[in-house]
Structure 1
Amino acid sequence: MTIGLSGVVNAATPPSTGLGQAWPNATDVSTSPNYHAYVFVLGGIQYIQINDLNGNVLGSVGTTGGQFITLPIGKFAQLVSTPQQPAATTSNAAPTTSPTTVYNDGTTTVTATPMSDGTTQLSAQLAATCNGADPAGCGTHGS
């Protein structure tokens, strides 16, 4: 019985390897059908990677205890912003749509905003409390 329980616990634990890969061996936890979001945990730090539909890594952040850091991986890593770190590069491009929530675990939210120059801006921040008022921002599409 303990062996079976151990397997269940391990299955629920996010992986600690695969960050930066197009198709990591991790569950897609995206809240949007237009993106893929993967979570990795190592040393108490949660790493969130956002990919486009074709598996291209767009950007990634690390977070723990309300603190964020942009990781230097992904096609648009220079366009990722966090509460502690503005995007490394600015652009005159205009958003083509409103920001889309790509990831929300109730603590952290990541949004993606497609821009007129073909880039995508990612923004990570502390999540507002998920109260069910916006179900699309609170769950996962599980693809």
Structure 2
Amino acid sequence: MFALAISGSAYAAQPPASGLGQAWPNTRDVSANPHFHAYVFMLGGIQYVQINDLNGNVLGAVGTANGQFITLPIGRFSQLVSTPQQAPAVTTTAAPAATAATVYQDSATTVTATPLTDGTVQIMALSANGCDTDPAICNSHIQ
């Protein structure tokens, strides 16, 4: 019983894990950009970052832990999400319509969004230190 009480209190200290994939999850918007919404969820030591547009449409999401990333199969443009370990699932001939905008950043992770000329949005997740030391690294992953 004591072990359950300890694990329960440790779990309660983490951000919520429910709501991933929802238009308006019941958690704080932590976006660094007024043109997007960003939501963070924690479960089992994995951080999930979801990016939505201003209308609440889920654009894409990634999971990250210890410098490793994975794209999640949710969001309108999930096929265009890239990480250091994964290129986008599909290629596009659309060009960037604007420069990459930082949508979320913490001490370990940076997530950017780049509107493309065909109306899609490319999401890119990187280790924050790569973007902090050389901003060209963040922009060089845009396909």
Scaled by the length of structure 1, the TM-score of the pair is 0.82
Is residue 61–residue 69 contact of structure 1 (8 Å, CA) maintained in 2? yes
Partner deviation per Cα, 1:67-116 (whole Å, 9 max, x = no partner): 00000000000000000000001110000100000000121000000000
The amino acid across from 2:113 in the alignment is A
CA distance in 1, matches of 2:131, 2:115: 24
- SS where residue 27 of structure 2 aligns? coil
Pairwise CA distance, 1:18: 0.3
Is residue 32–residue 101 contact of structure 1 (8 Å, CA) maintained in 2? yes
2:34 — aligned with what?
33
1:55 — aligned with what?
56
CA distance in 2, matches of 1:125, 1:34: 20
Higher helix share: 2
What percentage of residue pairs aligned between the two structures are identical? Answer: 66
1:130–1:71 CA distance, 2 compared to 1 (3 A):
closer
**Structure 1: runs of 5 or more not aligned:** 1-6, 132-143
- SS where residue 41 of structure 1 aligns? strand
The amino acid across from 2:19 in the alignment is G
**Structure 2: runs of 5 or more not aligned:** 1-8, 133-143
1:126 — aligned with what?
127
Partner deviation per Cα, 1:15-40 (whole Å, 9 max, x = no partner): 11000000000100000000000000
Scaled by the length of structure 2, the TM-score of the pair is 0.82
CA distance in 1, matches of 2:56, 2:119: 16
1:72 — aligned with what?
73
1:136 — aligned with what?
none
Pairwise CA distance, 1:13: 3.0
The amino acid across from 2:65 in the alignment is T
1:137 — aligned with what?
none
Is residue 61–residue 71 contact of structure 1 (8 Å, CA) maintained in 2? yes
- SS where residue 81 of structure 1 aligns? coil
The amino acid across from 1:22 in the alignment is A
Deviates more, 1:48-57 or 1:122-131: 122-131
CA distance in 1, matches of 2:37, 2:53: 6
The amino acid across from 1:116 in the alignment is T
